[in-house]
Amino acid sequence: MSSSQLKPIKVWGRGGANPPKVAMLLEELDLPREITHVEDVKGPEYLAVNPNGRTPAIHDPNTGLTIWESGAILQYLVERYDAGHRLSFPLGTPEAEHARQWLYFQVSGQGPYYGQAVWFKKFHHEHLPSALERYVKEVGRVTGVLEGHLGRQKEEAGAGDGDGDGSGGGPWLVGNKFSYADLAFLSWQRAIPIVFGKEVYDPDEFPLVKDWVHRMLARPAIAKALAELDEWQKSQKPPVPIRKDGGQ
């Protein structure tokens, strides 16, 4: 079934770091969608969708499935709609397993720690230097893991073949090509320099990660999805923060 024959996938959640992952992937896969901002993630209407009270969540009317948690959503979308493996890999291959590995690292190792760093920097009711220091160190550690892996990928696979879309070549996390595993990291990795500035996080200390982020941002689908998000955020009064209680 072509994307023009599909019913729009309903997405709950626009702002924050996790909902944009879904919007970017839907744009990359050229899938129709209907994105809704959730004003009250703890209200009964949304809790009926996601009992955890966080965004994002989706309902796919083409399959009847409702699913929440950003990593699970990304995995569902590529398994269901990326039959040509433009952003994924054939099931059972080493690359498919490694892509899943990096996705799980993002949702368990990057997102929660970066989120806590932002929380203690911007939203906690009192200044706790020791807590902030702990999570800022984790940001550096996780970014170092990414930097080291991208360095090994660059040595082993060369620059990559690019995708003919303006994003340039590699290195990428898996299989010498851009995949959903790379995309999963983008929202938080992009947000940290904006929130903290160079005095806490200097992207120049991680040149491969910096280049990796820039190459992803240069992809037309990602640029379009983020431009739509930026326009929406500008229309909000007050602007929706990167993270607040409820996952937005």
Structure tokens at 164: 């003919």
Domain residues for the domain of 7 are: 3-82
Per the domain annotation, does 230 fall within a domain? Answer: no
In which residue are the tokens 């599909």 written?
A: 6
CATH of the domain at 42: 3.40.30.10
Q: Which amino acid is at 34?
A: E
Per the domain annotation, does 226 fall within a domain? Answer: no
CATH of the domain at 208: 1.20.1050.10
Q: Are residues 120 and 198 in the same domain?
A: yes
Name every residue whose Cβ is closer than 8 Å to that of residue 196 and which is 6 or more positions away in sequence: 117, 121, 136
Number of domains in the chain: 2
Q: Are residues 103 and 189 in the same domain?
A: yes
Q: Are residues 198 and 98 in the same domain?
A: yes
In the chain, what percentage of residues exceed pLDDT 70?
Answer: 90
Per the domain annotation, does 22 fall within a domain? Answer: yes
Domain end call among 82, 107, 130:
82
Of the candidates 72, 101, 99, 105, the one whose C-alpha atom is nearest the C-alpha of residue 87 is 99
Q: How far apart are CA 94 and CA 115, in angstroms?
A: 30
Give this prediction's pTM. 0.90
201-226: per-residue pLDDT in tens? 899 999 999 999 999 999 999 999 99
40-51: per-residue pLDDT in tens? 999 999 999 999
Structure tokens at 248: 């937005």
